[in-house]
Structure 1
Amino acid sequence: MIEPRNKTLLFTAYQRLLLRVNPAYPKRAEIEKDLENLKIGFKGEYRIDQAIKETHFTDAFYVLPNVELKVSPHRRIEIDTLILTERFICIFEVKNLKGTLKFNENPYSLHQTINGKTYSYPCPQQQTLRAADSLHYWLRQQFKINLPIQIAIVLPNPNVLIETAPTKVKLLSPREIPLFLQGLDTHSKIVSGNHLKQIVSTIKRENSPFNIFPLAEKYNIPINHLRTGIVCPCGGNGIRTTQRTWICTRCKETIKKAIENTLFDWFLLYKSSISHKECSNLLQIQNRNTVTKILKNMKLEATGSTRSRLYHYDYKKDLVKQEASLVNLIYV
């Protein structure tokens, strides 16, 4: 079973940030570049997932993307792709780099040369070795087992030349993944199918990826540099034409889920909480009862007294209650 890589929310956040940020903001080019790198990285990860699907595993297997575990009070690990079977565990560190790569040791580093310019990065060999050592420790502490852990660095970009290869970690292209994994699948069984399910469930429960939201904080963008109101996906402003309808002033199309998407923008971009006044200013709705109903019909945790009340969003949950249709609350 392969867990999907859910990058849709992050893509959406970047796209909405570019729609709402001031066109003259100095870091706009940086945001655009980061979005492009995100797209490139996702394409590389997709190629890896497709290669894993081509693998003929003997028994049940689980593939968990983007795993972050706290293995001890003072150590956390990040794993791009974690593969678990009854016979072995495999860690893939994915580096979607191009150009000429030189893996240095003593001390560990990675040098990338593109068009005559050289860039230095933390060494993925060291990162992968550290992740394997930490996961070994965590498994012994949690389950008293010693599953063999194999590691590899995967380079999805075909436009890469290796000047100096790492000596302790294997390099793979996506095409090499199926045979590499099938070679590992010859180990004897170490755990039962039920025991493996228990391990996977524990990892998924304790997985705590870094929360990048609200995205504006990453780029130190002040709130007054972001547009308020209803914004169409095409970039035009929304104008309210009826009690429940907003039309884009640019493309003239009806803006679907105008309120829901605008409030979602707030939590993805601005802050993890919102006050009654902030919601009123954001949606440009002055009727206090209407704003109150909107906030209460969302999956938000309220704190504070009536005057200072804040509504907090949990990024692991849906924003809108299933039975609620926020547009139906707009009656003035």
Structure 2
Amino acid sequence: MIIKPDKEASLTLGLRALAKRLDRKHLLFDQISKELLQAEAGEYGEKFIMKQLEKLSFVMKIYVLHNITLRYPLSFQIDIVVITPYEVILVECKNIRGNVELKNRPRQMIRTLETGERRIFHHPEVQLEEYVYNLKKFFNQHYIKVPVNGIIVFPFNNVRIDYEDGYFPVLTARELISFLQQRPIKEKCIDAYAISRFLVAHLQSYEVYPLCRYYGIEIEAIQPGVFCPRCQCGQMQWIKRKWICTSCLHTDQKAHLLALQDYGMLIDKNITNKQAQHFLQLSNRHVIKRLLTTSAYYKVGATKQRKYQILL
């Protein structure tokens, strides 16, 4: 059973907004674009793994949680958690292509593309070790005795894996179902459902907003305006109570909501009327006030210095 289904991570949403609005000449633009591609590839791989686990949940009593964050003993985020009748298994997903070597001395992941380009990454089991340790500590804090193990999964077959035996099994997604079905049956069972609900009850949000502060990007480098949700390239203007795209002439009464979400993810969760005028490129403060107050934004502070809290 999928207890916490997959959904797009907040960091991916923020990176997409940042790549769209960041000045193309900015020193960090190439880095942000690369990180966005990596985040999207990672999520695509996780979704594929979740589909495999969903198939398995019809024939095996398992509970699956995707993209969970806990705060003890340190803040850590786990790609996928599978809870079986006998153990908790952490799945570290690595969506990477090319020839991959997993080395133990020192522990490194070396990726070589067909072009001959080589790049060295952290070995995934180093991070997975930390996650397993932290989750065990978390359970111990709450007097829960449960085995915690981990596996490293490459979701697709566009990778050739050469690895030296390590602490955790290394699989492709197609092997995942048979791997879980063949796990040894233990005498002592655990209450898998209760543990899944316990984890859900203790989930924390993974907060990186605002991204300008996170990456040290000056606000002036962020392009303001309401972007057209249809053509993604045209700027929209507010004319006769609706937004009209200057490129494709698409009309939309609520296009400002997406722009305000971008502001919240990139700059600040709170926005004043004056700030909204600049970011939405609309100088009529009365219209801005109406757009903010009718868009389910909370009011914060006195009238003169009033801010509106953006819901993300």
TM-score scaled by length of structure 1: 0.81
- Are 1:56 and 1:182, in contact at CA under 8 Å, matched by a contact in 2? no
Q: Distance in 1 between matches of 2:87 and 2:58?
A: 11
Asked if 1:228 corresponds to 2:227, the answer is no
CA distance in 2, matches of 1:59, 1:102: 33
Alpha carbons 1:100, 1:161 under 8 Å: kept? yes
Residue correspondence of structure 1 range 1-332 to structure 2 within 5 A: 1-2=1-2, 3-7=4-8, 12-55=13-56, 60-72=61-73, 75-114=74-113, 115-142=115-142, 144-184=143-183, 186-188=185-187, 190-192=189-191, 196-233=192-229, 234=231, 235-242=233-240, 244-313=241-310, 315=312
The worse-fitting range, judged by mean Cα deviation, of 75-84 and 181-190 is 181-190
- Stretch deviating more after TM superposition (77-86 or 175-184): 77-86
Shift, 1:107, TM fit: 4.5
How far apart are the structure 2 equivalents of 1:247 and 1:52? 44
Kept after mapping to 2: 8 A contact 1:125/1:166: no
Aligned residues of 2:10 and 2:206 also touching (Cα < 8 A): no
Query: 1:80·1:94 contact (CA, 8 Å) conserved in 2?
Result: yes
TM-score for the superposition, normalised by structure 2: 0.85
Task: Quickly say closer, same or farther: Cα 1:191–1:302, change in 2 above 3 A.
Answer: same
How many Å apart are 1:232 and its aligned residue? Answer: 0.9
Change (3 A) 1:145 1:232: same
Assess if the C-alpha contact under 8 Å between 1:152 and 1:171 holds in 2. yes
Distance 1:202 1:36, change over 3 A: same
**SS of the residue 2:182 aligns to:** helix
CA distance in 2, matches of 1:253, 1:264: 20
Report the aligned-residue RMSD: 2.7
Number of aligned positions between the proteins: 308
Q: Greater shift after overlay, 180-189 or 78-87?
A: 180-189
How far has the Cα of 1:282 moved from its partner?
2.1
> Residues of 1 paired with 2:59 and 2:157: CA distance?
30
CA contact (8 A) 1:238 1:255 kept: no
| Structure 1: runs of 5+ lacking an equivalent | 316-332
1:251-286 per-residue CA deviation (whole Å, 9 max, x = no partner) reads: 111135122222122112222221221012223444
Contact kept in structure 2, 1:66 and 1:209, CA below 8 Å: no
Percent sequence identity over aligned pairs = 27
Write the distance in 1 (CA, Å) between the matches of 2:228 and 2:185.
Answer: 54
Output one character per residue of 1:278-320: Cα deviation in whole Å (capped at 9) or x when no partner: 01222344444443343344454544443333333454xxxxx
Unaligned runs of 5+ in 2: none
Cα distance between partner residues in 2 of 1:136 and 1:8: 25
